[in-house]
Chains A and B, each alone.
Chain A
Amino acid sequence: MAVTKDEVEKIAKLAKLKFSDKELEDFTPQINEILGYMEKLNELDTEKVEPLSHPVEQKNVFREDKLKSSITTEEALKNAPSKDEHHFKVPKVIGDK
């Protein structure tokens, strides 16, 4: 099941990446190569194997519902490239999710 150039372009778009036509040409066979390598796993018979949801065997790691003081607004906004006194500022978003 080979990935097409269109699909690579779509994946790039979903990741907000922009590639030139040349790059898309280059990446398509590369991605297919990686997928082909992983394909090898399908040779195994997993019929009787429970699906693995997490590689670590530990379960139920929780916090109690307790507040801990955290950082100030000023600290929260410190790394923001654009901000006002209380908010992060981002390029105007129109429309909805």
Chain B
Amino acid sequence: MNPKYEAVIGLEVHAQLLTESKIFCSCSTKFGNEPNSNTCPVCLGHPGVLPVLNKKVVEFTVLMGLATNCKINQQSIFARKNYFYPDLPKGYQISQYEEPICEHGFIEVNPKNGSSKKIGITRIHMEEDAGKSIHDQSSATLVDVNRCGVPLMEIVSEPDIRTSEEAYLYLNNIKKIVQYLGICDGNMEEGSLRCDANISVRLKGENKFGVKTEIKNMNSFRNVERAIDYEINRQIDLIEEGEVIVQQTLLWDADANEAYPMRSKEEANDYRYFPDPDLLPVIVDDEWKTEISKSLPELPETKYKRFISDFSLPVYDAEILTQTKSLADYYESVISITDDYKTASNWVISEVLAVVNEKKIDISDFPITAVNLGKLINLIKVGTISGKIAKEVFALMLQDNSDPEQIVKDKNLVQISDTSEIESIIQKIIESNQAQVQEYLGGKEKVFGFFVGQVMKETRGKANPKLVNEILRKMLR
């Protein structure tokens, strides 16, 4: 990016809320059902029907507002956003325009090079999702109304973002927060979290905003970063060539790695919002707000900082362990058994996550319970088994979550730390390998490893490696 310029970026994020039923009717929100099987006269937009608001949608959105430092408006109202499109049967989307439920919040991001920064949140509001149009037939467009009325929460940021990295971090924090709150699964690839970006560039030091474009259709975290970088550079190149930026909406094409303008309709953005007379104002008084705030868990940012300060974990470890609440919970359960925080972190990050990622499962489906992993780490800590044997025990535990203490007992894997026992084993090995002893004594240091190997072979890996080394050095003199 040309250093003369800076980018001004604002993000609009849509999060599908994890309710059972739709926002204004009792139809299922379940994804993947037969087309048009989760519908009723309300979400089909039949005449004479009335929407009734799902209470949980309000609670979830307030929870998000509280988690992102927003002011929760005591009164908020719904509005109709009018446009015609086949996947919107009513001819309008019920959304919030004036008087949204949450306003004036912020999320903190921590860029790699630089200090932490607050990204303002303009507003968070509730709305309904539209249906799905299927364009792959040549003669007609097919419409599936199942998604119509699935509750969405839209989070609009201030134009405070300056780089694609900040955009990525902001979005990742939103993902973490909604997952911690349990209000959205945060899956961008499946569309339960969607992101549009408003982007403009200006010369550094300039106060006025440049002409902005909007990019849509970035359906992964990587694509958000790539699309933003692409658009920033495109705009700078145009300005450098003396051309003007045209305000327009662009669609990101991930395969081509470029954005192309969306076919604009003349009346685009003339939505003629007005208050929806079918829905009554929503009042969130202090009592209700307090009640909702009780279900606020420890948030990822707080947890991250606590993992560093209380468990002396490196930033890298804390970042990975707090990425999801379930992983952080798992780690905390492990260290409720063992106080070897760093070893526990190493095991969770390398061994546990390797299996979780390979099998593409959630940590909650990981076969080894946190308690048993904690016990295993304690077995290493007190010297009952070596780290090497621990990996073998871990592999056995993966099969049926058996108790590591039991495995060590049953398979007779207890580390041999009895000096005299090790001495007698070494004595035998020295006696039957005289040639190697002579080589070693003649100065061939490498042969030392041969003896260690022999001891381990003899003890099936159970000899305490530290003791073996010490005693061998002594006896091979």
A residues sitting closer than 8 Å to B (CB atoms) are 10, 13-14, 16, 53-56, 58-68, 70-73, 76-77, 82, 84, 86-97
A63:B53 contact, CB within 8 angstroms: yes
Complex interface: chain A residues within 8 A of B39 (CB): 70-71, 73, 76
Complex interface: chain A residues within 8 A of B134 (CB): 87
Nearest first, the 7 closest Cβ-Cβ pairs linking A and B are A95-B263, A68-B26, A70-B40, A87-B142, A62-B55, A65-B56, A88-B143
B275:A88 contact, CB within 8 angstroms: no
Q: What are the interface flags for B75-86 relative to A under an 8 Å C-beta threshold, 1 for contact and 0 otherwise? A: 101000011111
A67:B21 contact, CB within 8 angstroms: yes
Judged by a CB distance under 8 angstroms, whether B140 is at the interface is yes
- A54 with B280, Cβ < 8 A, contacts A63-B55, A87-B142, A93-B133 known: yes
Closest residue of A by beta carbon distance from B282: A60
- Measured CB to CB, the closest approach of chain B to A81, in angstroms, equals 12
A90:B143 contact, CB within 8 angstroms: yes
- A88 with B36, Cβ < 8 A, contacts A14-B272, A93-B133 known: yes
Complex interface: chain A residues within 8 A of B283 (CB): 59-60
- A62 with B53, Cβ < 8 A, contacts A68-B26, A73-B35 known: yes
Scoring B38, B263, B280 by chain A CB atoms within 10 A of each residue's CB, the highest score goes to B280
Interface residues on B, range: 35 or more
B35:A87 contact, CB within 8 angstroms: yes
Q: How far apart sit A58 and B145, CA to CA, in the bound complex (Å)?
A: 31
- Measured CB to CB, the closest approach of chain B to A86, in angstroms, equals 4
Scoring B28, B139, B143 by chain A CB atoms within 10 A of each residue's CB, the highest score goes to B143
A59:B84 contact, CB within 8 angstroms: no
- Measured CB to CB, the closest approach of chain B to A64, in angstroms, equals 6
B20:A87 contact, CB within 8 angstroms: no
22 contacts between A and B (CB under 8 A): A13-B266, A16-B84, A53-B77, A54-B277, A54-B281, A56-B280, A58-B280, A62-B53, A63-B55, A65-B20, A65-B55, A67-B26, A68-B26, A71-B39, A73-B34, A87-B144, A88-B36, A88-B144, A90-B143, A92-B138, A93-B133, A97-B83
Q: What are the interface flags for B253-278 relative to A under an 8 Å C-beta threshold, 1 for contact and 0 otherwise? A: 00000000011011100101001010
- Measured CB to CB, the closest approach of chain B to A87, in angstroms, equals 4
Judged by a CB distance under 8 angstroms, whether B135 is at the interface is yes
Q: How far apart sit A87 and B75, CA to CA, in the bound complex (Å)?
A: 39
**Cβ-neighbour of A94 out of B25, B75, B143, B263 (below 8 A):** B263
Complex interface: chain B residues within 8 A of A53 (CB): 75, 77, 99, 275, 281
- Measured CB to CB, the closest approach of chain B to A95, in angstroms, equals 3
Complex interface: chain B residues within 8 A of A67 (CB): 20-21, 26-28
Q: How far apart sit A90 and B107, CA to CA, in the bound complex (Å)?
A: 42
Complex interface: chain A residues within 8 A of B41 (CB): 71
Q: How far apart sit A65 and B84, CA to CA, in the bound complex (Å)?
A: 29
Q: How far apart sit A92 and B140, CA to CA, in the bound complex (Å)?
A: 4
Complex interface: chain B residues within 8 A of A66 (CB): 20-21, 26
**Cβ-neighbour of A89 out of B44, B55, B142, B270 (below 8 A):** B142
A88:B53 contact, CB within 8 angstroms: no
- Measured CB to CB, the closest approach of chain B to A30, in angstroms, equals 20
Q: What are the interface flags for B313-331 relative to A under an 8 Å C-beta threshold, 1 for contact and 0 otherwise? A: 0000000000000000000
Q: How far apart sit A28 and B142, CA to CA, in the bound complex (Å)?
A: 38
Complex interface: chain B residues within 8 A of A86 (CB): 34-36, 144
Q: How far apart sit A16 and B267, CA to CA, in the bound complex (Å)?
A: 11
Complex interface: chain B residues within 8 A of A76 (CB): 36-37, 39, 44, 145
Complex interface: chain A residues within 8 A of B75 (CB): 53, 59
